[in-house]
Chains A and B, each alone.
Chain A
Amino acid sequence: MTQLISIFLAFLRIGIMAFGGAYASIPLVEREVVEINGWLTYEEFGNLLALDELTPGPILINSATFVGSRIAGVPGAIAATLGSIFPACVISMIMLHIYRKYRKLDLLQTIIFAVKCMTVGLIMVTILRAAKNSILAAGSTLGFDPLMLVMTVVALYILRKWKPNPLWLMLAGGAINLIAALLK
């Protein structure tokens, strides 16, 4: 039971801070779930990001369900999800009433802008950590994994140029890595 509460509270904290759009929650989940509570490793968190592309639904609920279910099964998933959306529900109601009373949105736009900038900085951290984890490989002769580096750069290029659904790139990357490993 205490576990359910701590999962609920952890995602409640994330839910309160999750300003700035869908992907803003990624670094927040990372900090709370991997660094503070140690519920996932960086590797597992990376896997979660990939799975999130596969499934519908916001990253926040997907993370909550994934982490919650790993720790405490279905009740854990539900506790985590409830925690993650509770702040959203409360704050959106408050915002709605403020809006109805004052009818002005320009301060809000300024805040949204600043939070967007903040999100860029935060995701930069997530990217570097993910790169450190996947591309810089301990124990290899070069100190990094050249295949992963090349795949990442190529994937980025393809993404910028043709804007495909990222899921295809992820699956291709997975397949290539698998084939490369099988060939060794």
Chain B
Amino acid sequence: MAEKVKRWWILFITMLTISSTANSGYAILSVMKSTFVQKRKWLTEEQMEDYIALCQGCPGPLAINASMIIGYHVGSLGGALAAVLGCAIPPLVIMLLVSVFYAAIISNNWVRVFMKGMQAGVIAMLIDLIWGIFKNVTQKQKIYPLAIMAAAFIYTWFTKFSTLYLVLGCIAVAVVSFLLNKRKEGEK
């Protein structure tokens, strides 16, 4: 029992540290890997890779899903919750402080001008982001990915319906595509 609780504590503290310093979900994953796989040997490299793939299929932040799954592997439900708490508390606290600071300074006109200027960088970052993903997904086929992108764009730009239906539709399309491919392979 004490061993389990000790693991929970380690999970909590480790995630607390990682989450305070890492910049992106992938950075968090790589530190989790070096800590839990290489340093502590609580799971194998192969298990880690499978878990990462699993996380990407789940909604929500990569870091949270990874904390949940790996935490569960290491210390069952208590471990999962300890890891998630460790992961969620730093951004919560830091962003709270930033929000307070933001609220205090945003009424200043010059600050608003500055923040507007920042949007150039924000927009560029978003374009760069989808440029990369676009190139990535259109590598092997063009029509299928483009059709999904167009459908998503049209749905979101022209309607006010919840994105949930779009997500469900997208998953349905993926499942159909998967089954069609399986049948094609079966016929070969």
**Residues of chain A at the chain B interface (Cβ within 8 Å):** 13, 15-19, 21-23, 25-28, 31, 35, 43, 46-47, 49-51, 53-62, 65-66, 69-70, 74, 77-78, 81, 84-85, 87-89, 91-93, 95-96, 99, 105-128, 130-131, 133-135, 148, 151-152, 155-156, 158-160, 166-178, 181-182
In the bound complex, residues from chain A placing their C-beta under 8 Å from that of B170 are: 114-115, 117-118
In the bound complex, residues from chain B placing their C-beta under 8 Å from that of A16 are: 59, 164
- Which B residues between 51 and 76 are near A, CB-CB below 8 angstroms? 53-65, 68-69, 72
In the bound complex, residues from chain B placing their C-beta under 8 Å from that of A177 are: 113-114, 116-118, 120
Is the pair A121, B156 in contact by a Cβ cutoff of 8 Å? yes
- Which B residues between 113 and 134 are near A, CB-CB below 8 angstroms? 113-131, 133-134
For B153, give its contact among A19, A23, A57, A122 (CB under 8 Å): A122
Which applies to chain A's interface (DSSP): helix, strand, loop or mixed? helix
In the bound complex, residues from chain B placing their C-beta under 8 Å from that of A117 are: 137, 144-146, 148-149, 152, 170
In the bound complex, residues from chain B placing their C-beta under 8 Å from that of A106 are: 178
Interface size on B, residues (CB 8 A): 90
Tell me the complex Cα distance, A119–B167, Å: 10
CB distance from B24 to the nearest CB of A (A): 7
Is the pair A22, B84 in contact by a Cβ cutoff of 8 Å? no
In the bound complex, residues from chain B placing their C-beta under 8 Å from that of A51 are: 95, 98, 102
Tell me the complex Cα distance, A159–B174, Å: 32
Tell me the complex Cα distance, A135–B116, Å: 10
